[in-house]
Amino acid sequence: MIETIFFYLFASVTCLAGLMVISSRNPVHSVLFLILSFFNAAGLFILLGAEFLAMLLVVVYVGAVAVLFLFVVMMLDINFAELRDGFQRYMPLGLGVGGLLLTEILFVFFNRENMPERLDLTTGVSNTRALGRVLYTDYIYLFQIAGLILLVAMIGAITLTLRKRENVRKQSIKKQNERKREDTIEVVSVPTGVGIRKP
Amino acid sequence: MLFTQITFQAALPEYILALTALGLVLMAAFSGSTNSAKRFIKLTALVGYLLAFASIFVLPSESHSIYFGLFRINNFLIYMKAIVLIGAFFACWMVTSDWADGVEKPEYQVLIMLATLGMLLMISANDLISLYMGLELQSLPLYVIAAMHTRSLKSSEAGLKYFLLGALSSGMLLYGASLVYGYTGFTRFDDISSFISQNVASSGIIVGVVFMLSGLAFKISAAPFHMWTPDVYEGAPTPVTALFAITPKVAAITLLMNVTYFVFSDIRFEWMQVIIALSVASMIIGAFGAIMQKDLKRMMAYSSIAHMGYALAGLASGTHQGAAGVMIYLTTYVFMSAGAFSIILMMRRDGLPVQKLSDLSGLSSTHPYWSFGLMIFMFSMAGIPPLAGFFAKWYVFLAAVNSGLIPLAIIGVLTSVVGAFYYLRIIKLMYFEDVDQPLDEGAPTENVIILSLSIIVTVLFLFIIGPLREWSHGISQTFPVSGML
């Protein structure tokens, strides 16, 4: 009973938030609604018993991807009115794709008697533990390659974006410590009425 | 997981490359950017390749699979790894710090070493997942180094194009792999192959195989998946182009051969059609596309498309003879490309790199040795006997004829005649035209050594072809395809 209530709660909020993502006028609000919909989808995963996937969704999509979107939306100067110009033109395409997806969902809905039974996965081992058992043993090879690929991604991103710029007034502690008194200060006795002439 | 001695022994070259690459990261981070530090990093990378190459000789000679069957070696794969390591060594050695264009950063060495590691892992893949992981480890560093010359617009364009199309091809490969997994229930190559031999291959598996082949055809730039090649070859810094031309294709063709001959050997009539189509399209586009090119690197791109078409002709035969032909073809291809690119890298005028075909005019009077070398490679690529390229073409076409693909062989011979036109045009430019503006004198020793080595291999190939043929035939017997169809 309580499971059903929570399912409808999460599902309806996910759908409403998804609708708001595409209909809200302010792009920052869109991203925030996207985050809301991610959280509710994570709730649905927990109801299905997939707690690892739920945590992954929150950590990766909310923690990284959505924040990245937020940055991009705030930093790039995108003219959103211009983006909406093609609305009429792309309408048939969007309706076509949407209709196709709707047909597929309805197909599954009307054939639900013929679908295979839901497997009982409650073997007493949680998702996270089951993954942990094989990830570092059976799949250690792939785990290590994945590590190398991430290293390549990091080195690549830094190599392509880091460049040494001239004329940047950055504090150099070494330079400051090496400065001597003699290099910078000169004591000059100023004769009256003459002033200091630059050497 | 039992870490026995074989776990360490079978993947020795990979361990060496991985550890050297990680060491290079640390060295690049802490050594600063002085010229001597860069030279030291490059030297370490070269030592790493040499050690990995040396460790090839202590690998076990019988077939093994380690890491729960995710990684496999046998004599064929070991031979291909040796070819890749030779190519990577050449490509790394050719770059000298004062002759590099935007690739003088120490990260370049780290990235190409990781890419080479990816190629070795891809060759040894024995599972759909390890196939994909190896392929990505190979591709990602290549996207980065294509765009490495950050001040050049063309280099950025090349990197972006390569990345987008590469990502698309990875998607196709993954989609195909997911279909194969879905319809067989296995990811391990041995399991998939025994499943297919025991059951009737459903159309889902065949669609999956076609998608996987398309994804791999992208990586070897076989037509009609070749669109990126000319632009990337032209735009990327020349040392990077040399690397692209030499090594990744050898690894990708080996993987293609592994997938077709080993995993899907029981449905070879299905994949043979795909390979024949790819081969014919590549040979035709490679031959006719190069005719109008004015840029030497673009011409080499089309030439490499044509070469992949010829190699695929051997693969399309579906026989042991074809497998041996492809091995011989790739061996000659590595040396011919390495030699040709060692000359292209030396082409400078007033200290700036030039890459137009017209810059070669009258090269024989100013640089007799370079033009002699380029003449040898062009004759060899055109398939003039008794050079290496002739034997390579001979064996792949022989395999195609013997398995009844006579039209394919005829198209191959006709397109090599068309191809001979643009190879001979370069020789005409060098020997029968007047010097317009002479190129710079002086050449890095490394490039001259690579050039001389490649000339020796290309010219004296007729003395090693006999034993190489015997040996490659022996190795190709390990494939589960029949000797004759």
pLDDT, tens digit, 9 for 90 and up, residues B17-67: 999 999 999 998 888 777 788 888 889 999 999 999 999 998 888 888 888
Decide if B25 is inside a domain. Answer: yes
- CA-to-CA distance for B264 and B481, rounded, in angstroms? 10
Decide if A43 is inside a domain. Answer: no
Decide if B481 is inside a domain. Answer: no
Taking CB atoms and an 8 Å cutoff, what residues of chain B touch A174? none
Q: How many domains, in total, are found in chain A?
A: 1
* Cβ under 8 Å to A: B residues 79-108: 105, 107
DSSP code at position B433: S
Decide if A114 is inside a domain. Answer: no
Decide if A1 is inside a domain. Answer: no
Instruction: Give the SS3 label for residue A163.
Output: coil
Q: Do A159 and B134 make contact, defined as CB atoms within 8 angstroms?
A: no
Nearest by Cα to B44 from B100, B92, B9, B105: B92
Mean pLDDT score of chain A, rounded to an integer? 85
Decide if B482 is inside a domain. Answer: no
Q: Do B107 and A155 make contact, defined as CB atoms within 8 angstroms?
A: yes
Containing domain of residue A131, as a range? 125-160
Residue A5 to residues A8, A10, A12, A161, B66, Cα–Cα distance (Å): 5, 9, 11, 49, 50
Q: Do B121 and A151 make contact, defined as CB atoms within 8 angstroms?
A: no
Decide if B391 is inside a domain. Answer: yes
Decide if B436 is inside a domain. Answer: yes
> Chain B: nearest CA to A132, how far in angstroms?
14
* pTM given for the model: 0.86
Q: Do A149 and B144 make contact, defined as CB atoms within 8 angstroms?
A: no
Is A67 at the interface with chain B, CB within 8 A?
no
Q: How confident is the model at residue B96 (pLDDT cuts 50, 70, 90)?
A: low
Q: Do A141 and B141 make contact, defined as CB atoms within 8 angstroms?
A: no
Q: What is the ipTM of this complex?
A: 0.89
Decide if B118 is inside a domain. Answer: yes
Q: For B384, left (φ over 0), alpha (ψ -120 to 50), or beta? A: beta
Containing domain of residue B153, as a range? 5-476
Decide if A149 is inside a domain. Answer: yes
Average pLDDT over residues A118-140: 80
> Chain A: nearest CA to B175, how far in angstroms?
19
Is A165 at the interface with chain B, CB within 8 A?
no
Q: Do A156 and B71 make contact, defined as CB atoms within 8 angstroms?
A: no
Query: Which of the pair, B234 or B35, is modelled with greater confidence?
Result: B234
Decide if A139 is inside a domain. Answer: yes
- Among A172-176, B127-131, B274-278, which is the least confidently predicted range? A172-176
pLDDT of B118-153, one tens digit each?
Answer: 999 999 999 999 999 999 999 999 999 998 887 788
- CA-to-CA distance for B468 and B394, rounded, in angstroms? 14
Decide if A144 is inside a domain. Answer: yes
Is B12 at the interface with chain A, CB within 8 A?
no
Alpha helices in B185-247 (DSSP H): 189-198, 203-219, 228-235, 238-246
Decide if B483 is inside a domain. Answer: no
Q: Give me the residue from B1, B136, B141 closest to A137, CB to CB.
A: B1
In total, the C-beta contacts within 8 angstroms joining chain A to chain B are: 61
Would you say residue B155 has pLDDT above 80? yes
Q: How confident is the model at residue B361 (pLDDT cuts 50, 70, 90)?
A: confident
- CA-to-CA distance for A92 and A104, rounded, in angstroms? 18
| CB-count exposure of residue A133 (10 Å: 0-12, 13-18, 19+) | exposed
Instruction: Give the SS3 label for residue B356.
Output: strand
Taking CB atoms and an 8 Å cutoff, what residues of chain A touch B155? none
Is A28 at the interface with chain B, CB within 8 A?
no
> Chain A: nearest CA to B406, how far in angstroms?
43
Taking CB atoms and an 8 Å cutoff, what residues of chain B touch A151? 25, 114
Give the per-residue pLDDT at B364: 86
Q: Do B137 and A148 make contact, defined as CB atoms within 8 angstroms?
A: yes
Is A151 at the interface with chain B, CB within 8 A?
yes
- CA-to-CA distance for B360 and B75, rounded, in angstroms? 42
Is A142 at the interface with chain B, CB within 8 A?
yes
Q: How many domains, in total, are found in chain B?
A: 1
Count other C-beta atoms under 10 Å from residue A131's C-beta: 13
